[in-house]
Chains A and B, each alone.
Chain A
C-alpha cells in the first residue's frame, strides 16, 4: 500500500514552487497594472480572469491537486459549478427586476 502511495505522490522539487511563486507575483502585478488603466466593465472581467488563473496554479501545484486522486478535482469542480450556478441565478434575478 505504501509503495503505491509513494509512487503516486511524487515529491515536488523546491524549484517548481519557486517558479510558481514567480508566476503568481507576475500575475498579481499584471492585474494591478491593468486595472489602473480604466477599461470600463472589461476591468472586472480581466481582474477575475487573472484571479482564476492564479487560483488554478495554487490549486494544482500548491494544493497538490495535479498529483492527487482525480476524485478531489472532480469534487472541487462540482462545488465551483454549484457556486457559479447560485451566483448566476441570483444575478439573473437582480438584473431583470
Chain B
C-alpha cells in the first residue's frame, strides 16, 4: 500500500458520546438511590442497625484504593501526552492492580456476610424482618452492580493498555484513553456516594 491513509477522526464527538453514556449511568444509579432513600425513610431503625454491621474499615480502605486508582489513570493521560509511553502503561497497570485489590476486598467482605447467612433470598435473613431484607437486598444489588462496572472498567483499561503498547493510542490520538478514564472516574464517583450511604450513615 503506497497510499497514505488519513483516518477521519472527531475526538470531541467521541468524548461527547462517552459523556452521554455516563449520563445514562448516572440516571441508572440515581434511580437506585431513590429506592434506597424511600426504603430507608420507611425502615429507618432496621437500616440504622443493619448498616452498623458493615465494616467501615474495609469500606474506607476500598474508597482510598479507588481514589488512588482514579489518580493513576488520570496521570496516564498526562504521561501519554508527554510521549512517555512506558510510564503511561505502568500507570494503567497500577490502576488495574488497584481495581483488582478493590474486588478482592469486596470478595472477603461479601464472604463474611455469606458466612452469617446474609445474602439475597436467605431464609435466615428473612427471619430478621422486612427492613433487613430490603437493606441487604439494596446493599448487594448496588455494590454488586458497582463491582460489575469495576470488572468492565478493568477490561476496558486492559484493552487501552494493549493499544498503547501497539502504538494505536499515542500522544496524537489518545481520546480512547480519555474515555476509559472517564468511565473509571464515574465508577469512582458512584462509590463516593455508595460509601457514605451504606457504611457511614448509621
Contacts and interface: CB of A to CB of B under 8 A. Distances in A.
Interface of A: 5, 11-14, 17-18, 20-21, 24-25, 28-29, 31-32, 35, 43-44, 47-48, 50-51, 54-55, 58-59, 61-64, 68-69, 71-72, 75-76, 79-80, 82-83, 86-87, 90-91, 94-95
A62 B70 contact: yes
B37 A87 contact: yes
B26 A12 contact: no
Interface residues of B, number: 44
B85 interface: no
Given A14-B75, A28-B67, A90-B38, A55 B19 contact: no
A25 B64 contact: yes
A80 to B, nearest CB: 8
A92 B197 CA distance: 20
A29 B27 CA distance: 28
Given A11-B81, A35-B200, A47-B196, 7 more contacts: A47-B201, A51-B192, A58-B189, A62-B181, A79-B26, A91-B37, A94-B38
Interface string B118-140: 00000000000000000000000
Contacts of A64: 178
Nearest to B71: A21
Contacts of B78: 11-14, 17
Given A14-B75, A17-B71, A87-B37, A63 B185 contact: yes
Nearest to A86: B34
B55 to A, nearest CB: 12
Contact of A54 (B11, B16, B30, B192): B192
B141 interface: no
A91 B39 CA distance: 11
Contact of A90 (B11, B34, B182, B189): B34
Contacts of B68: 21
B11 A5 contact: yes
Contact of B12 (A25, A54, A55, A69): A69
